A and B are shown apart, each in its own frame.
Chain A
Amino acid sequence: MSGIPAARLRGATDHGVPARPGMTEPTWLRWLLIGITASFLTGFLLLPLAVVFYEAFREGARVYFASLVEPYAVSAIRLTLITAFFCLIGNTIFGVAAAWLLTRFRFPGKAFLISLIDIPFAVSPVIAGLVLVLVFGLHGWAGNKALTFFWPIVYWLSLGLGTLLLLLTAIGYARTQRLRWILGLVGVGFFAFAFGFDPVVARYLAAGKEWQIIFATPGIVLATIFVTFPFVARELIPVMQSVGQEEELAAISLGAGGWTTFWRITVPNVKWGLIYGLILCNARAMGEFGAVTVVSGNIRGRTNTMPLHIEVLSNEFQFAASFAISSVLALLAIVTLVIKTILERRLNRPGPEL
């Protein structure tokens, strides 16, 4: 029992222990403040969450489930999942590379690079969409012309690289059996890519089709990546910083290769931080509205994500259906919060750096 008083003194606000008068607020004020905060958070956070489920089920479970399996809803859910998938892959690769770069090396311009990573946090999602429309849109830089121009270059480069790799394999450049397999397969892959995509591109150009980015899935994915860009990196950097590089240096000095060190030492050390970042990234990616609105064009069943579908349904006064889709996303938010709370206890820190 001797350890308790010291701990209690530090947090001398426990109502079980009489606190000294000048060190904390009087009991009545404490409970008043707690009361105000609790009612504020209940009214402001809990009720909006509850109202979503209430409205979703107001017309019965049958209407609820019917509006979730209706074809437009299904295609919206599918597009949301596809978008989140690409977003997670891209941001993981970037996040790991950026965290490795920023925590393991010293180089000029590091502080500037860190502030560049924060840009998407400060920029309105609508602007994220707008810049993509300006780059790829009607008066944009890329488009059908870009394909006409770049495809032959990509085509010949692929064939050249493929030939080179196959030649290297043939003359026995690769020392190990495994490396030989990899080189050979990548070489064949280049050939397959070039020969496989050539007819597709030719058909595209012959049909005079626009190479759609805006008002299509690629634009939606790009816009979502823009707004979720910093999440993984921002969560990984402090974790990798605090883990330090001693273990990696030890592995390298014992003769391990770079990739071995990365997979065997770094990844296990930072995996909870990585998962934490991915959870936040996923929540934002699945729920992104502003940026996606701009680039989607709201083509039902083709370019509608779940948040956009909510808006469409609500504009058509189909409130039950709209709240049904909302409830799925609200559920996702709850799951995110639960996992986040568990991970924070594991990572032993108070909250995210927003």
Chain B
Amino acid sequence: MSATLSWSTRTRQRIGILPGFGLSLGITLTYLSTIVLIPVAALFIHASGLGWSGLVEKLSGARVAGAFKVTFGISFIAALVNLVFGTLTAWVLVRYRFPGKRFFDAMVDLPFAMPTAVAGIALTALFAPNGWIGSWLEPLGLTVNYTQLGLGIALTFIGLPFMVRTLQPVIEELSREAEEAAACLGATRAQTVRRVIFPELLPAILTGFALAFARAVGEYGSVVFISGNIPRYTEVIPQLIIIRLEQYDYQGATALGAAMLVVSFSLLLIINLLQRWAERRAGSAA
């Protein structure tokens, strides 16, 4: 009796004094396993059932290769656009004062709050040849809808908040003292920005870029409206997975899904490492 008591006392001291460890652990693990872990594991089990040669066979072919190229290529470009405009937006929203600042700040989350289908249909209407923006681009010879440009615009739209929201807190935490010191030592503003501010922001910029890229790679909702789903031109992998399912080609969909999951997990790992780097950077600066 005393042995059990001392054991449980020791356990309590180790894990914590408050009650509810067993209950909360049980709920968390059960929910996590049922909703996420078992289904994700099922995908890998189904994929391994195909065997290595089966996987390679399902993942080869011009259409799949094209979809991979389009997905990663356009997502990368979209994330780059976000890198430029997201960094600019974050900088302007933190450092400058101007009328309507709060409003624009709140608006940044719109792509996140707005359902992707609504974003897709709205962008399509906006960039249609007779749309508000499309009618200006048409004389310039720029067609957006059903082209890679449209795909890129949709992927940029949904990635923007990730870039801005990752950078904003970091810019707020930037030490003004370092900038002051640089200015006192005779650095021009451009030099200060390049040599002092940019290196401090780099980990956060890369994290935001990776988050926006990861989001763009998996995007389906907005893409389906504006891209036109043209194989090897605007067809992305999530679309191809759905097409495979509609053709009852479960093996093809499984192979594509497993490949995408591997990419997603690698991106998640990279993002975690980048965030740790950013935190270390912030910790050493403080």
Contacts and interface: CB of A to CB of B under 8 A. Distances in A.
Interface in A259-318: 261-262, 283, 286-290, 293-294, 306-308, 310-311, 314
Interface string B11-28: 000111111110111011
A289 B257 contact: no
Contacts of A132: 39
A130 B89 contact: no
Interface string B162-203: 100110110010001001101110111100100000000000
Interface in B77-132: 85, 88-89, 91-93, 95-98, 100, 102, 104, 106-119, 121-123, 125-126, 131-132
Given A249-B18, A290-B116, A293-B242, A116 B32 contact: yes
A130 B257 contact: yes
Interface in A219-276: 222, 225-226, 229, 245, 248-249, 252, 257-258, 261-262
Interface residues of B, number: 106
A166 B46 CA distance: 45
B56 interface: no
Contacts of B214: 122
B118 A135 contact: no
Interface residues of B: mostly helix, strand, loop or mixed? helix
B211 interface: yes
Interface residues of A, number: 111
Contacts of B96: 13, 30, 33-34
Contact of A249 (B17, B122, B169): B17
B230 interface: no
A130 B259 CA distance: 13
A126 B32 contact: no
Nearest to B123: A48
Interface residues of A: mostly helix, strand, loop or mixed? helix
Given A10-B176, A44-B160, A127-B218, A22 B117 contact: no
B116 A94 contact: no
A116 B36 contact: yes
B180 A23 contact: yes
14 contacts: A38-B104, A40-B85, A47-B132, A49-B110, A104-B20, A116-B37, A123-B40, A127-B238, A127-B260, A249-B18, A283-B112, A290-B221, A307-B221, A311-B117
Interface of A: 10-15, 20-26, 30, 33-34, 36-38, 40-41, 43-49, 51-52, 55, 90, 93-94, 97-98, 100-101, 104-107, 113, 115-128, 130-135, 137-139, 141, 222, 225-226, 229, 245, 248-249, 252, 257-258, 261-262, 283, 286-290, 293-294, 306-308, 310-311, 314, 319, 322-323, 326, 329-330, 333-334, 336-338, 340-341, 350-354
